[in-house]
Structure 1
């Protein structure tokens, strides 16, 4: 089993159980700006960016009115949304600020800059952009050296000022 998966393979979408579909749509479409691509009755919906069929599925099939899993249980740590540019990430931060949604973290990983927050169902969400690969930090042997440093939010906010 030494063969690797095809290098062009990507994660296509994530499907989340939510307690309130309209509240989840308000966050993913209203705050983050995803487009609603389809409703599946009153209990599920699909949202996307750029006309894709769906990046995120939301459903209440087994979770209507439910709460998040308790701390210490298994499940989703976070979903990550990759923005194409630093300016697009700055716009996402502007949207969060305008909606009064607090960050749970913000990190510069060397390879990327990331914002961390919770959706209304306390699913973890990472919003990030990747630096160009040529700018990724490397060790003397050329190996990738990801880091976790404090992200300069003021500089990111200044991109939309």
Structure 2
């Protein structure tokens, strides 16, 4: 295919729709722990959740997955859903909430352009919770590409945002 087309810069990812084994268990994670708001349900087979009153950022359904086993780590499919927090303090708040709930992280990284927490939902779907550093703080390689990396995130420093 020709490289002449470039997607419009205003384009964004609107929502993710996840197959889950239990709507109530998924809502326990996304609504009750992460704090998303329930916007609507389709009977007992689907739920739609959002932040800030949007129609939905995440759809959850059991249409083909009710009571199914967790997603395989080594199979094809979604690697993770990434949820962007507006500030570093907001990321610190959700980290503190997860920590106090004893919810396990699978990783915590500083990527230069962002800081991220990684975990799995109850169906073993990967979830990334992160905030973007302001673009003027990003660094670039000599060829103009963004300098991204993966270093350990200093979680104690992140919690200092709450002081």
| Residue in structure 2 matched with residue 127 of structure 1 by the alignment | 129
Q: How many residues align?
A: 161
Using a 3 Å threshold, how does the CA distance of structure 1 residues 73 and 141 change in structure 2: closer, same or farther? closer
Matched, 1:148 2:137: no
- Please give the TM-score of this superposition, normalised by the length of structure 2: 0.95
How big is the alpha-carbon RMSD for the aligned residues of Structure 1 and Structure 2?
A: 1.1
- Please give the TM-score of this superposition, normalised by the length of structure 1: 0.96
2: CA distance, partners of 1:41 / 1:141: 53
Deviation at 1:81, TM superposition (A): 0.1
| Residue in structure 2 matched with residue 66 of structure 1 by the alignment | 68
| Residue in structure 1 matched with residue 44 of structure 2 by the alignment | 42
Using a 3 Å threshold, how does the CA distance of structure 1 residues 141 and 72 change in structure 2: closer, same or farther? closer
Matched, 1:28 2:15: no
| Residue in structure 2 matched with residue 101 of structure 1 by the alignment | 103
5+ residue gaps, structure 1, are none
Among candidates 3, 6, 30, match of residue 4 of structure 1:
6
Query: Contact 2:71/2:125 (CA < 8 Å) preserved in 1?
Result: no
1:103-123 superposed Cα distances (whole Å, 9 cap, x missing partner): 100000000000000001100
Segments of 4+ in structure 1 off by > 4 A?
none
1:41-94 superposed Cα distances (whole Å, 9 cap, x missing partner): 111100000110000000111111111233421111000000110011111101
5+ residue gaps, structure 2, are none
More divergent stretch after superposition (68-77 vs 125-134): 68-77
